Structure 1
Amino acid sequence: MSVALPFIAFLLAGAFAAYHRLRLAVWAAITATLLAACWLLGANQAATIVAAIVVAAIAVPLLLPFIRKPLVTTPLLKFFRKVLPPLSQTERIALETGSVGFEGELFTGDPDWNKLLAYPKPQLTDEEQAFLDGPVEELCRMVDEWQINHVHADLPPELWDFIKHNRFFGMIIPKEYGGLGFSALAHHKVIQKLASVSSVVSSTVGVPNSLGPGELLMHYGTKEQKDHYLPRLAAGQEVPCFGLTGPFAGSDATSIPDFGIVCKGDWNGANVLGVRLTFDKRYITLAPVATIIGLAFRMYDPDGLIGDTRDIGITLALLPRDTDGVEVGRRHFPLNSPFQNGPIRGKEVFIPLSQLIGGVDKAGLGWNMLNECLAVGRSITLPSTASGGVKFAAVVGGAYARIRKQFGLSIGRFEGVEEALARIGGKAYATSALSQATAAAVDRGDVPSVPSAIAKYHCTTMGREVASDFMDIVGGKGIILGPRNIGGRAWQASPIAITVEGANIMTRSLLIFGQGAILCHPWVMKEMKAAQNPDLKAGVDEFDENLFGHIGFAISNAVRSLWFGITGAKIGAAPGDDYTRRYFRKLDRYSANLALMADVSMLLLGGKLKFKESLSGRLGDVLSHVYMTSAMLKRYHDEGAPQADQPLLAWAFHDSVHKIENALSAALRNFPIRPVGWLMWALIFPWGRRAEAPGDRLGHRVAALLMAPNEARDRLAQGVFLTPCANNPGGRINSYLAKAIAAEPVERKFLKALKNSDIEALDFRSQLDEGVREGWITADERKQLEELRELTLDAITVDDFDPHELRAATYYDQPQHKRQPREAA
């Protein structure tokens, strides 16, 4: 033992210093003190001397800069410069335009949770709340999904007028230009509420307030452009669209073939310097009704009319719809969800340089501009749309499952339906927290590139999963389309959000971890900038500080991963209350695991990592769920840590940590360098995987919350349009819940008596008459059961139509011979 004691002291000192991230000098002092104690306690002197020599061999050269920099740092810098993967212009711009918020803490392996909890609780102003309670509520009351989707295949004229008159298109435009000047949170709340009643309405309102001419002009427009266009956009005098995607440039937007050549041409009767454009765009939302078109194209100046650069780069411009040569094509028909969407084309279209967004000074900076606006747009519109739909499914699905009965029981009492309800409830809590967190980040002034990708991918993915579960629960009420339908259109529209603003497959496998590992890592971006410094001496000084900070960081995360794995993350200080403290400890563990895996993957795979999309996607899942669970905990504490919400939080949290461990496991089992994968498994899962998916008892509690009035259900329902009006069958179903529950004891008593009787009445009303005569129920209870039958009938009734009502109107506009079925070829 006396021989081993100095080495045990050496290891313990190193582990302690690494866990607590102490400086190298502090580690050396602690280790020297322990070795001195070993000497005095009678440990083997030779072993103690060997341990001291090892400490000196490590500490002396690393603590003395005049030894460390020439012998260690400079050779490593030269090597790093050789292996540093080249960044394309696209990748460089994507990394340089984003900012880092709390997501950066998740890559440290030791997040400052107090920083998260100290963020102000997101709150609406009185003016914003009044808008939600007034114009937004009124617009929701006006929405008739059947009229929009089947009859008009568009918003009726009165809805267009209402949206424009109440400046829904100007929510983000400052008041000085006639807009509403709302916060990102208010923007989120408006889109969420509209989406709970109609995805067509929410997308129509959402697009002008996200990526489009309005936001681009606010950030980059010239004074003349702002003064002219922003008031017109805010008042709805101009309807905007933005053309980015084309047939040969979808997710790879930087490869757009659309081009503009700098030249002279005629504009408003004068010969001016401008750009002659040729373009072909598709999938452009609002294009068929747009009056002003934003356009992304690659700009060329072959004759040097505005400078020495020939290939200027991606540039953005504004084209009035009536510009000569602009062709707005016919409408696309996206999955029977008729929001205005279609192609735009143009050949040899001339515009003056004054129509470039930001003028000539912003020519070639289009991709930078788009990246910032894409991050903000992804943070709000798509996550908010998903959140509105998922929360609607949770509240209305729970009410329907309680009201609808089969085999004498509410269908929500069957465990299979309970499982689906639990998934819906947990995901509703998660999407609500995640979408609000990203909106709050925008309001704090962040450009949340990584959180926006996380929110876009996971909210829309969960939205599609919830749509599937909801359809399973409501059955025919969701399948049969018509004015009474409550799920069919959401089911049809759910894949749309998966594909737009960057396809979800690409977002998961490339963007989330690909950007996060560099942009959010505390050292990598600094090291890359140091390595690119042309001044070798300055680069060495900068690289030296960052390199050894990174090395200590990596060692610390290895130690922390092992410690948390051995202890099950059950030991250590953590914020929160008695209920959530254990959750924060778990997230400390997964943060350390993520940071360790990121470092090992980048070190050993280098530039090849961006081609390992499966590994990148799995590590992106880890980052996403750590971020998502932190958003849930923030929401829980912002709302006063209500005990009633704990089942929802617990289900969503355990679902996420189960997915985190599955993703880590898959990443390690498939790590390209197998021995490294085995070593990392020992550090991350010393006792194997332990996280389990939410259990049946927890699922039962979540389902029960959705099927009865309570404060947790009310909080989950906030921001959803549930007014029980004629055009809102979901709102009517929800309004019936309390009455249905109140009638259940009477219904059970009546059915039990009926079963044990010998009366011959077969229809419901005759049976009620017998029940009153026999004394099973009172006259008031009879009325209660009649009301229950009526509201149940409204809840479950579906529509039917004459055949001609389902035919397109154009069918009757064609000559008789064109309406005959074609013969088989």
Structure 2
Amino acid sequence: MDSPASETPVTPEKIGAGASAEDARAIAEAARETEWTRPSFAKGLYLGSFDLGLIHPWPAAKPDDVERGEAFMARLTEYCRTMSGRTIERDAKIPDEYLRGLAELGVFGMKIPQEYGGLGLSLVYYGRALALLGSVHPSLGALLSAHQSIGVPEPVKVFGTPQQKRTYLPRCAAGAVTAFLLTEPDVGSDPARMGSTAVPSADGESYVLDGVKLWTTNGVIAELVVVMAVVPRHIDSAGAVHKGGITAFVVEMDSPGITVENRNTFMGLRGIENGVTRFHKVRVPAANRLGREGQGLKIALTTLNTGRLSLPALCVATGRWSLKIAREWSNARTQWGRPVGKHEAVGKKIAFI
């Protein structure tokens, strides 16, 4: 039986500052996955179903994938030793030479298929690489995660046309930094209040994009971005009616009418290129639209799943590094005739970590 929200038609007229709670739920429900071709083990746990067959036996990786992954991790480990997290922390910026070095290693194309110039690594090695980079400085992991997990590579790889894949994926793999622009000053987890618009031209060849996006991780230095905007209900030149809705577009950041208004600063992730971006009458070719009109939120939620896997990888890196520092210091600092780690109170703390 369908939920009440799914019975409510979702139209662009119900998106914006005046959207009701019912409108917001309807938009969120319409973006949900309807055919679960890949069942979730964690979801089953919440529903009281323990399907061990989904996680055991652990899938064996292909020997070629392992060989390529291990070789890449060895190269990346050596390069990470040349970077300084203290430099990033001090300057609140990732040096350009670090980004160039990572691009030469292929780090910007870790998950992009080899046929498009990427490394084609599995999620296991992608997660391991992020953990390693995060141990140098978390801003490195944040930049590369935002680029590959939610930026241009993932939505284009999953939802892009063959031409879009040939156009954008090689650039992304070569080091073109990308970003994902969904949030607005008054729009967070409630996309029904989205104010950015993409109005189709009369000939249907382009859209005119207007709006402001906030918390644009990588947006300050990005070359390409994925932008979510509302396409209004419209009639094309052939007389066909289009419902419009929240739609995804790949946008070149050097397009006329784009302004990065602010680079946000943070106490924690110093070095992250996060800002406020304004679009004023930015013309975007129709060929840059990802998927159908109104499919943007579904594209966003689907690609965000990959981003959710990168966050715990970075947290693992932080935890392991913190434990390393604690163990080394507890063995170096001596009090009352022995290293402090040999005293019961400190030893228990380290054991707990």
Structure-2-length-normalised TM-score = 0.85
Q: Alignment partner of 1:160: what SS?
A: helix
Q: Deviation digits for residues 563-608 of structure 1, max 9, x if unmatched?
A: xxxxxxxxxxxxxxxxxxxxxxxxxxxxxxxxxxxxxxxxxxxxxx
The alignment's C-alpha RMSD in Å is 2.4
Match of 1:294 in 2: 226
Does the 8 Å contact 2:205/2:285 carry over to 1?
yes
Match of 1:370 in 2: 300
Does the 8 Å contact 2:110/2:120 carry over to 1?
yes
1:279 deviation in Å?
A: 1.2
In structure 2, what residue type is equivalent to 1:241?
Answer: A
- Give distance in 2, aligned partners of 1:408 and 1:214: 56
- Give distance in 2, aligned partners of 1:131 and 1:352: 37
1:139 aligns with 2:71: no
Change (3 A) 1:187 1:254: farther
- Give distance in 2, aligned partners of 1:101 and 1:399: 40
1:246 paired residue among 169, 181, 184: 184
Change (3 A) 1:142 1:309: farther
Match of 2:287 in 1: 354
1:187 paired residue among 126, 130, 136: 126
Match of 1:259 in 2: 197
1:230 paired residue among 152, 169, 176: 169
- Give distance in 2, aligned partners of 1:308 and 1:418: 72
Q: Alignment partner of 2:215: what SS?
A: strand
Does the 8 Å contact 1:259/1:277 carry over to 2?
yes
Match of 1:522 in 2: none
1:200 aligns with 2:139: yes
Change (3 A) 1:121 1:398: farther
Q: Deviation digits for residues 788-808 of structure 1, max 9, x if unmatched?
A: xxxxxxxxxxxxxxxxxxxxx
1:90 paired residue among 28, 43, 67: 28
Match of 1:338 in 2: 271
1:412 deviation in Å?
A: 2.4
1:105 deviation in Å?
A: 4.5
1:250 deviation in Å?
A: 1.3
In structure 2, what residue type is equivalent to 1:344?
Answer: T
- Give distance in 1, aligned partners of 2:275 and 2:238: 34
Match of 1:391 in 2: 320
1:401 aligns with 2:340: no
Does the 8 Å contact 1:142/1:159 carry over to 2?
no
1:284 aligns with 2:222: no
Q: Deviation digits for residues 371-411 of structure 1, max 9, x if unmatched?
A: 111112212x2111001111122233223223222233332
Q: Alignment partner of 2:280: what SS?
A: strand
Does the 8 Å contact 1:97/1:368 carry over to 2?
no
- Give distance in 1, aligned partners of 2:229 and 2:116: 28
Does the 8 Å contact 1:122/1:185 carry over to 2?
no
Superposition pairs of residues 574-723 of structure 1, within 5 angstroms: none
Does the 8 Å contact 1:207/1:285 carry over to 2?
yes
1:319 aligns with 2:262: no
Change (3 A) 1:383 1:309: farther
- Give distance in 2, aligned partners of 1:166 and 1:279: 36
1:126 aligns with 2:58: no
In structure 2, what residue type is equivalent to 1:327?
Answer: T
Gaps of 5+ in 1: 1-79, 265-270, 425-825
Change (3 A) 1:367 1:395: same
1:229 deviation in Å?
A: 1.1
In structure 2, what residue type is equivalent to 1:377?
Answer: G
Q: Alignment partner of 2:200: what SS?
A: strand
Q: Alignment partner of 1:288: what SS?
A: coil
Change (3 A) 1:417 1:254: farther
Q: Alignment partner of 1:329: what SS?
A: strand
Superposition pairs of residues 541-580 of structure 1, within 5 angstroms: none
Match of 2:14 in 1: none
Q: Deviation digits for residues 514-533 of structure 1, max 9, x if unmatched?
A: xxxxxxxxxxxxxxxxxxxx
- Whose Rg is larger? 1
Q: Deviation digits for residues 46-99 of structure 1, max 9, x if unmatched?
A: xxxxxxxxxxxxxxxxxxxxxxxxxxxxxxxxxx88xx6545231242353764
The structure showing larger relative contact order (alpha-carbon pairs under 8 Å, at least 6 residues apart) is 2
* % identical equivalent positions: 26
Does the 8 Å contact 1:213/1:294 carry over to 2?
yes
Paired residues in the alignment total 330
Change (3 A) 1:246 1:103: same
Q: Alignment partner of 1:226: what SS?
A: helix
Gaps of 5+ in 2: 7-25
1:129 deviation in Å?
A: 0.4
Does the 8 Å contact 1:272/1:352 carry over to 2?
no
Q: Deviation digits for residues 774-818 of structure 1, max 9, x if unmatched?
A: xxxxxxxxxxxxxxxxxxxxxxxxxxxxxxxxxxxxxxxxxxxxx
Does the 8 Å contact 2:231/2:294 carry over to 1?
yes
In terms of fraction of residues, the more helix-rich structure is 1
1:369 deviation in Å?
A: 1.1
In terms of fraction of residues, the more strand-rich structure is 2
Does the 8 Å contact 2:147/2:179 carry over to 1?
yes
